[in-house]
Structure 1
């Protein structure tokens, strides 16, 4: 039995999120990233294979490098060959970009020490080819002010103000390593919000992003964002940013795993 770790890239536009859903929507099967990869693994292994992901991205959210592992009973496939083997059965909006063997006790979910998201914000008029991957705001935000607001997102914080209704987490506390904005080096009309934490609440990144942009555009001072954060009151947060611009960018398995 081998434990195989995959790095997965996907365009989340036409998926109902990462997590497999056994129910149907109005009689139609629910399409998920996990479900599609498990179908491919079943074709290779001739039996159902459970896939464990590092994070459960929502409907419409993308990934540069999601991490997921599964246990394989096949010893004859060289580990690097899982990439073309799985891709051969996948739709074009999911690609396996790397595969390697890991320790039997490794879990993509529980061994992860941090998760990094990138949110892409277009400040002008995007090309049609960009529309699935950015949030067009049609104005140039003050990057310095945004970063002053984002500077309050450091350390162990109660993030209840940015948790979506219905979040089932036992605790709303998370440890945020870093959060900041920068100009995309390939397109100066795009600014990127990067945030790294041990884990995230449901729609937390989109809620934070939408709040930061809304408060900056409304002329709020950076301290106002801290007030909202400290209030733990979801009603004081700004609108939730759309899923289009959000990418799961990186999963780290190095360093300390924080349990907040």
Structure 2
């Protein structure tokens, strides 16, 4: 890397301890820890001067495997960059890939696709009905009933895939961009369909806010993961050691939650 190089960095984190990704006063956030590490590592001295930007803002309790940030740095660390950053990060945040990008790169603006995954504990839901209903979301719609945002609520969903994994229903949603809480509200709607509390006519009404105005409470944050943010023309340099640490931590978390489920159910 040369002076004034712009870097894109892939981050993963478990969101349990954090009040979301974006830095906020008087609370612990993922971004605060990232800023702290960049400064301690001597990679960035001033966040504003580094033209820092992020691809997405995840809410309190939401996790990520492929969050992307970008910043300018005048210091060259080569392929050891991610490990240097990780040395000053807590154990539930990991940098695992980086790339040199054009000077005008902005991860929020330049992303062509965002991929989210929602994990829903299977309480005997009708998976076939959920899959059939999920196709109603694909394409371009007004998602006013799936967010609290006002205005600019037209979005296009490229794909929704639903499959089973052990005792979980996994909902994968891909789109160029999402509204606040949109994925969690879609997951909540599909859950309503799966347990037969609602039908497809209700879902069609929800997707037609000009005729039907009704909000839906978002599904819990702990089930949501920002899986990936996709860009054209970026060649990522992955740190295999950091990637293995990330994968092990996510697996350990899954084992812990599965164990706690059995412990709690054994007392019922």
Shared fold per TM-score greater than 0.5: yes
The question of 1:71 aligning with 2:72 is answered yes
Conserved? CA contact 2:124–2:195, under 8 Å: no
Q: 1:18 aligns with which of 17, 21, 30?
A: 21
Give, in whole Å, the separation in 2 of the partners of 1:233 and 1:161: 11
The question of 1:47 aligning with 2:45 is answered yes
Conserved? CA contact 1:160–1:234, under 8 Å: no
Secondary structure at the aligned position of 2:137 is classed as: coil
Question: How many Å apart are 1:232 and its aligned residue?
Answer: 5.5
Higher helix share: 2
The question of 1:56 aligning with 2:57 is answered yes
Superposition CA RMSD, Å: 1.9
Q: Which runs of 5+ in 1 are unaligned?
A: 24-28, 124-138, 256-260
Conserved? CA contact 2:82–2:98, under 8 Å: yes
Question: How many Å apart are 1:33 and its aligned residue?
Answer: 1.1
Q: 2:203 aligns with which of 225, 246, 253?
A: 225
The question of 1:148 aligning with 2:148 is answered no
Q: 1:8 aligns with which of 11, 33, 38?
A: 11
- Which position in structure 2 is the counterpart of 1:33? 30
Q: Which runs of 5+ in 2 are unaligned?
A: 234-268
- Per-residue deviation, residues 225-253 of structure 1 (Å, max 9, x unmatched): 11211136885344320001000011111
Conserved? CA contact 2:127–2:194, under 8 Å: no
Question: How many Å apart are 1:145 and its aligned residue?
Answer: 0.5
Q: TM-score, normalised by structure 1?
A: 0.81
Which consecutive aligned stretches of 4+ in structure 1 deviate over 4 angstroms post-superposition?
232-235
Q: Write the mapping of 1:111-150 to structure 2, written as runs, cut at 5 A.
A: 111-123=110-122, 139-150=123-134
| Count of equivalent residues | 226
Question: How many Å apart are 1:215 and its aligned residue?
Answer: 3.1
- Per-residue deviation, residues 63-114 of structure 1 (Å, max 9, x unmatched): 011111111011x311x21101100000111000111211112111111011
- Which position in structure 2 is the counterpart of 1:182? 163
Conserved? CA contact 1:181–1:192, under 8 Å: yes
Q: TM-score, normalised by structure 2?
A: 0.79
- Which position in structure 1 is the counterpart of 2:252? none
Give, in whole Å, the separation in 1 of the partners of 2:155 and 2:230: 16
Secondary structure at the aligned position of 1:206 is classed as: helix
Q: 1:163 aligns with which of 123, 135, 147?
A: 147
- Per-residue deviation, residues 142-179 of structure 1 (Å, max 9, x unmatched): 11100111101112211001003xx36x4011111011
Secondary structure at the aligned position of 2:226 is classed as: strand
Q: 1:172 aligns with which of 153, 159, 162?
A: 153
Give, in whole Å, the separation in 1 of the partners of 2:227 and 2:144: 23
Question: How many Å apart are 1:221 and its aligned residue?
Answer: 2.7
